[in-house]
Every structure is written in C-alpha cells, then in structure tokens.
Amino acid sequence: MGFKAFRVEKTGSGFSYSVQEQELGSLPDGEVWIDVRYSSLNYKDALSATGNPGVTRKFPHTPGIDAAGFVVESASPEFKAGEAVLVMGYDLGMNTPGGYGQRIRVPARWVVSMPAGLTPETSMHWGTAGFTAALAVEKLLHEGMKPAGGPVVVTGASGGVGCVAVKLLASLGFEVAAVTGKAEQHDWLRSLGAKEFISREQALEGADRPLGKERWGGAVDTVGGVPLANVVKSLTHSASVAVCGLAVSAEFPISVLPFILRHVNVLGVDSVELPIAHKRQLWNRIGSEWRVDLTTTVQKLSLHDLAAAVPRILKGGMVGRGVVDLSL
Ligand SMILES: NC(=O)c1ccc[n+]([C@@H]2O[C@H](COP(=O)([O-])OP(=O)(O)OC[C@H]3O[C@@H](n4cnc5c(N)ncnc54)[C@H](OP(=O)(O)O)[C@@H]3O)[C@@H](O)[C@H]2O)c1
C-alpha cells in the first residue's frame, strides 16, 4: 500500500517540491505506525525544505516536525491501534520522514496520547509553534511572572509562536503588548488579546543604549537579535524573557548591565528535545486548563499548498498558524 507525501528533492540549483506516492517500506524502523491526518507549518519546516544543514542533511526528504492522527499498529504496549496521538519534535521531519506524509513510523518514546480536550485537528492548531508558546509561558510563570507585574511583550506577534503566546497570555489575565511588522494585522491581534502595538522599527530603537526604561513584567521573544536585546534592557527589576527563536538573528548584542543592575533573567526554551514526560504533561495542560480556541489563527493548507507556503514563512510573511490537512 502506498501513501501521499510532500517530497523535497535537491536539484542542481536548489530544491524542488512535489506531492508523490511513497511505499510503506520506505519508512524507518519504529514501534508505532501512525495514520497522519493533520500536520502544521513551522518556520523549521521551511528551513528543512530549503536544506538548512542544521535541520536536514538527507534528500529526498519528507518534512513535517508535527504529526497528529491515529495509531495503525503498535509494537509498544503503551499505544493501541485506533488511538489518537500526536508526535512533535525529536528527529521527526528533520532526518526522519515527517508529518507531511500520510504515514509515519516512529519510536514509542516520541508519541503523546491525544489529551482529552483535543483532537488531531485542534492539536495541530497549536503544533510545535503553539506548544513552544505554552512552554515559554510555563517557564515565565515558574519564574514568578504575574499579571500585576506589568505588561508582557511578545515579539514576532503575528507568527505561529507569537500569536499563540498573545492569546494564551491574555487568557491568563496578562496585559499583552505585541511587536509586529504587520500593521494590517492589529485588529486580528487585538481580537486575540493584544492591547498595545510596537512596530518592528520601534523595536530596533535604542540599540546603542545599555539600558532602557523599565516597561515589561515579562516577555516572549521569537526573533532574537537587537529586538531581543532591547526587550531585556526594558524588563522591570527581576523580570524574565523566554527566548524561543531567531527569525531576525541568532545574535544577542547586549552588555551585562541589565543583569547586574536589574536582576533580570533570560530563560531558554527548547520544545524539540524536551523530555517526553514534560511534553505529555504540558500537552495535557493545553487540552484542559490552558485550552483556548485558536480557530481564528488558522489557515488550512493542503500538501499541494506547501510549495508556496515555504518561501512565505521564511520571509516572515506568514500570519498565524498554517495547519496541514492531509486529506485535501
Ligand atoms: N525553541 C523552540 O523550541 C522553537 C519552537 C518553534 C519555533 N521556534 C523558533 O521561533 C521562531 C518563530 O517561529 P514561528 O514558527 O512562529 O515562525 P513564523 O510563523 O514565521 O513567525 C515569525 C515572526 O517573526 C517576525 N519576523 C520575521 N522576520 C522578521 C524580521 N526580519 N524582522 C522582525 N520580525 C520578523 C514576523 O512577525 P511580525 O510580522 O508580526 O513582526 C513573523 O511572523 C523561529 O525562529 C523558530 O525557529 C523555536
């Protein structure tokens, strides 16, 4: 039996994309076979599809760092045929064929049982991007962030991680400020809970100053570079920023002054290699006390739409969450 997959092939001048029929025998060893119904589009999927060597080295390749669907067959007693599950991170979609194929085969230690409040489709409204936003918020709360501590700023707010962070923080009672380059998305971001807007240009101001005015009781950063440095310089005393991404830069141009004068914290966030027990526990929280409706953030994509979506997300032009329906 075959299945459909979005395949990336290396050509003399770059990469070519097509939806192809694949054989089950092409999948690697693993205890759990999954019938993938939904996946999602993350920045990292676009890096994989364009040959970023830190993400994918082997081509032809099927990307997709997220997958949700139903167990077809399991050699592990933990999972039963017919059970709804999701897989995110580890090597899925990097050098292991990923969620842009209708079948995956993975180790049981990568698999998360679908939380009670979610379905394969709604879990992919979150996907890796949304999970990362939740992980960032969880870490900030653990460090003592509270609504009374002042507004929380989110950079790259219209992107996948950013928009879920805005919605989740607002639902938890925080006042949210959004840094975005897309003025036309202010109304949508306001509908998710953002109260204040900062343009990308404003986020770059003051790069030469060692400290800024104390403004933020917390922050979720998805872009790195000067905007991240400026956020840290404007954290209030003892506040924290959760660092998720590098959409602008992997650099962090800052002095030690905010740390030694304001006691602020930079918190790392990695959703990929997070231990599976932590992933399962946080997914359960997302399906229960943190469940929020992300429908208005979602654009549905088919496997055929991915070829055009990959360059769009790399240019920072994606709005919200791209959810891939593998039946389309
Ligand atoms: N640590 C982890 O586990 C983890 C997990 C998931 C993602 N990530 C990382 O987090 C970042 C965001 O991922 P994502 O899936 O949310 O990507 P995304 O949907 O493309 O969102 C990134 C957003 O950053 C902003 N942006 C892009 N280019 C910019 C530029 N040149 N200057 C200023 N802002 C720019 C844009 O928002 P505006 O237009 O609103 O400004 C864009 O929508 C990526 O670097 C990704 O690799 C890390």
- What six digits make up the tokens of 155? 């950079």
Give the nearest ligand 1 atom to 162 CA. 16
Q: Are 108 and 134 found together in one domain?
A: no
Per the CB < 8 A criterion, the answer to whether 110 and 276 are in contact is yes
Asked if residue 231 belongs to a domain, the reply is yes
For residues 30 and 138, membership in a common domain is answered with no
Residue closest via CA to ligand 1's atom 31 equals 248
Residue-wise pLDDT tens digits, 12-70:
999 999 999 999 999 999 999 999 999 999 999 999 999 999 999 999 999 999 999 99
Q: What is the pTM of this model?
A: 0.97
Give residue-wise pLDDT tens across range 193-208. Answer: 999 999 999 999 999 9
Percent of the chain as helix, strand, coil, to the nearest 5: 35, 30, 40
CATH of the domain at 214: 3.40.50.720
Q: In terms of Cα–Cα distance, which of 220, 210, 193 is closest to 136?
A: 220
**Are 133 and 76 within one domain?**
no
Name the CA radius of gyration of the chain, rounded.
Answer: 20
Which of ligand 1's atoms lies nearest the C-alpha of 227? 33
pLDDT in tens, 26-40: 999 999 999 999 999
Shared domain for 133 and 85, answered yes or no, is: no
Between the CA of 44 and the centroid of ligand 1 the distance, in Å, is: 10
Confidence (pLDDT) at 318: 86
Q: Cα separation of 317 and 233, whole Å?
A: 28
When divided into structural domains, the chain yields a total of 2
Q: Which of 179, 178, 130 is nearest to 285 (CA)?
A: 130
Structural domain of residue 224, as residue ranges? 129-268
Substitution candidate for ligand 1 out of 244, 251, 271, 299 with most atoms within 8 A of CB: 244
The phi and psi torsions of 71 (rounded to 5 degrees) equal -65, 130
Instruction: Looking at the structure, tell me whether residues 168 and 198 fall in a common domain.
Output: yes
Q: For residue 248, how far is its CA from the centre of ligand 1 (angstroms)?
A: 8
Specify whether the CB–CB gap between 97 and 56 falls below 8 A. Answer: no
Q: Is residue 281 part of a domain?
A: no
> What pLDDT score was predicted for residue 1?
74
Instruction: Report the nearest-CA residue for atom 30 of ligand 1.
Output: 248
- 71 shares its domain with 189: no
- Whether 137 and 262 map to the same domain: the answer is yes
